[in-house]
Amino acid sequence: MVDADYCFRYIDVGSDGRASDSTIFKVSTLNIALEKNLLNWPESGLCVGDDAFPLRTNILKPFSHRHLSLEEKIFNYRLSRARRVSENAFGILSSRFRIFRRTIDVKVETTELIVKTACAIHNWLRMTASRDYLTTKCVDNEDLNTGEIRPGTWRQTNSLLSVGRQDVGYTSNHYTTDAELLRKRYARDFCTTLSVPWQLQAVQNT
């Protein structure tokens, strides 16, 4: 889990690499804590995920069916913009800690320590030396007038994003009515009170 400042707030390390994202999340302590409301979650707080994750009142995911309405397309676009922060955090981690650009040929236990340590150092540098560690050009930038995305410099290097496996194991309709109503409410708000000037053009160009 990544926050809006590109810091890792929760990591799950050591699962079988052949397991899907949805399977790993389902058995994670994060998922258990979310389900049991143990995180002192802020009112109206939400996690943003891709299609591999469940749709719940505290997790938003894209509409996945075909023939989307304009409102649903805009919702998916806005959700994708929010998820870009997480993508950038992983890209920064792998560009700063170059050990992630190759196979880590050590024991599994040592690999777990390397990943945990890198994430901890990343967070520490992000919070204490932000200007030097994460420059404005390092991450994706968005022109708030046009919506144009200027790719961050981390994208010029190989990143660990290419080795991730995603699965749509949660794409069934096993979600609550409240969760669906919440997603529809955000879809409506993104077209009205929370709209941005360039979103219609962005959706039409895809």
Q: Is residue 12 part of a domain?
A: no
Nearest to 93 by CA among 116, 114, 120, 122: 122
Express as a percent the part of the chain with pLDDT over 70: 89
**Is 3 a member of any domain?**
no
Q: Is residue 6 part of a domain?
A: no
At which residue do the structure tokens 């969760």 appear? Answer: 179
Q: Is the pLDDT assigned to residue 160 strictly greater than 60? A: no
Alpha helices (H) in 129-176, listed in sequence order = 130-133
Contact 100, 93 (CB under 8 A): yes
pTM, rounded to two decimals: 0.79
Q: How confident is the model at residue 77 (pLDDT cuts 50, 70, 90)?
A: very high
Say if residue 131 is exposed, middle or buried (CB neighbours under 10 Å; 0-12, 13-18, 19+): exposed
Question: Quick check: is 166 in a domain?
Answer: no
List the domain range (segments joined by +) for residue 66. 21-154+173-205
Distance, in Å, from the CA atom of 196 to the CA atom of 80, rounded to the nearest integer, reads: 14
Pairing between strand 59-60 and 47-48? Answer: parallel
Does residue 74 belong to any structural domain of this protein?
A: yes
Establish if 98 belongs to a structural domain: yes
Whether residue 169 has pLDDT greater than 80: no
Q: Given CA atoms 80, 86, 89, 90 in this order, what sign does their dihedral have?
A: negative
The Cβ of residue 203 has, within 10 Å, a number of other Cβ atoms equal to: 18
Looking at the structure of the chain, the number of domains it has is 1
Mean local confidence (pLDDT), 58-72: 91
Do the domain assignments include residue 162?
Answer: no
pLDDT surpasses 70 at 167? no
Rounded to whole angstroms, how far apart are CA atoms 40 and 54? 20
Indicate the burial class of 54 (C-beta count within 10 angstroms; 0-12, 13-18, 19 or more): buried
142 lies in a domain? yes
